[in-house]
A = this chain, B = another copy of it.
Amino acid sequence: MNLRHLTFRLLEVYVTVVRTGSVTAAAQQLHLTQPTVSQQLKRLAEAVAEPLFVSRGGRLELTDSGRELYRTALDVTGRFEDFQDYLAELKGGQKGRFSIALVNTAQYVLPKLLGPYSQAFPEVEMTVEIGNRQQLLERFERQLDDIYVFSHPPSLEQAHVARFLRNPLVVIAPEQHPLAHKQEVELDDILQERLLLREPGSATRMLFESWLQGQGAQWFNGMQMASNGAIRVGVAAGMGLAVVSRHVLPEVHPGIVILPVKGFPIESHWHFIVRRDRRLPYAARSFLEYAAGELDQCLPAEYLCNEVSTLLNQTTEAMA
């Protein structure tokens, strides 16, 4: 036999024999028969091309080579155990990394979940990507990330999806606006106003447009702005009205009011999305598990819609 074919198992057997000082005892400990162990030792000695023991007055006594092999075996198996520990941590989701891609709007909410998670698992490195719907679709297509957050999921063929948070779209107006304090506002009223809107391709805008289309309506006076933050400031400054995710507004939002427009809020949801064809890193899985369990501790109850555990079940099946 050649040294190349040495297995860790064989070293393990050897170490046990040396420890116990007896072939028979080692065999018992390892749940093997005595001849098996004898033969393993023989193979090992052949591989090393050196006697490992001399039987000296009934005792097995190590030769110099045997002693050195013992040291080597301890070092080697020890080092390998370290590696296995590493793997265990990784698989337990204690360690590792994953990336999550968010649509713009979600960036106001997800930190409330990501923050506590990374406190709880400081060894997990995560990358957060942010973009508009279009950009995220591309990333999804190119399989760049482990988890995606969309309000309107892409083709379900290739993905597992779970809602986790309500995402109501509301109409906001400056406090001084004439409509600001009415009990109820007609849709037509706001369509006459100037509307600050995100670029086409953004989820909020797509959602709003398709909803409008369903109502057989359309707006007249729009103004495009690149970010939700800019829109918020714009509205406060009296530049016009806007349709935004409720989450874009802080809890208290001085200078801005939510108009009670008929048909609003437009209901939608954010979803966690993972590709079916991409292995979910253990760390990413651990994040979803965390989300499934801790979501209600991190986010206001009124928006909760926690279906994450069904996603976990689906991905478990996929992995088995």
| Chain A contact residues, CB within 8 Å of chain B | 3-9, 12, 48-51, 64-65, 68-69, 72, 75-76, 79-80, 82-84, 86-87, 90-91, 96-97, 279
Q: Which residues does chain B contribute within 8 Å of A51, judged by CB atoms? A: 279
Neighbour of A83 across the interface among B68, B84, B86, CB < 8 A: B68
| Number of copies of this chain that the complex holds | 2
Complex alpha-carbon distance, A82 and B72, angstroms: 9
Min CB–CB distance A196 → chain B (angstroms) = 40
The answer on a CB contact under 8 Å between A76 and B86 is no
Q: Which residues does chain B contribute within 8 Å of A6, judged by CB atoms? A: 7-8
Neighbour of A64 across the interface among B50, B64, B69, B97, CB < 8 A: B97
Min CB–CB distance A124 → chain B (angstroms) = 11
Given A4-B12, A6-B7, A7-B4; A65-B87 close (CB under 8 Å): yes
Contacts A51-B279, A64-B96 known; 9 new A-B pairs at CB < 8 A:
A4-B9, A5-B8, A48-B87, A65-B87, A68-B83, A72-B79, A72-B82, A75-B79, A76-B76
9 A-B pairs with least C-beta separation = A4-B9, A72-B83, A75-B79, A76-B76, A5-B7, A68-B86, A6-B8, A76-B79, A7-B7
Neighbour of A90 across the interface among B64, B76, B84, CB < 8 A: B64
Secondary structure dominating the interface of A: helix
Q: Which residues does chain B contribute within 8 Å of A9, judged by CB atoms? A: 4-5
Q: Which residues does chain B contribute within 8 Å of A279, judged by CB atoms? A: 51
Q: Which residues does chain B contribute within 8 Å of A4, judged by CB atoms? A: 7-9, 12
Using CB atoms, name the residue of chain B closest to A63: B281
Complex alpha-carbon distance, A64 and B282, angstroms: 12
Question: 24 interchain pairs (CB within 8 A)?
Answer: A3-B8, A3-B80, A3-B84, A4-B8, A4-B9, A4-B12, A5-B7, A5-B8, A5-B9, A6-B8, A7-B7, A49-B91, A50-B91, A51-B279, A64-B96, A64-B97, A65-B90, A68-B83, A69-B83, A72-B79, A72-B80, A76-B76, A76-B79, A79-B79
Q: Which residues does chain B contribute within 8 Å of A3, judged by CB atoms? A: 8, 80, 84
Q: Which residues does chain B contribute within 8 Å of A76, judged by CB atoms? A: 76, 79-80
Complex alpha-carbon distance, A96 and B7, angstroms: 27
Q: Which residues does chain B contribute within 8 Å of A80, judged by CB atoms? A: 3, 72, 76
Complex alpha-carbon distance, A50 and B76, angstroms: 21
Min CB–CB distance A141 → chain B (angstroms) = 15
Min CB–CB distance A91 → chain B (angstroms) = 8
Q: Which residues does chain B contribute within 8 Å of A48, judged by CB atoms? A: 87
Min CB–CB distance A50 → chain B (angstroms) = 6
Using CB atoms, name the residue of chain B closest to A2: B9
Using CB atoms, name the residue of chain B closest to A64: B96
Using CB atoms, name the residue of chain B closest to A13: B4
Q: Which residues does chain B contribute within 8 Å of A90, judged by CB atoms? A: 50, 64-65
Using CB atoms, name the residue of chain B closest to A75: B79
Using CB atoms, name the residue of chain B closest to A10: B4
Complex alpha-carbon distance, A3 and B279, angstroms: 22
Min CB–CB distance A47 → chain B (angstroms) = 10
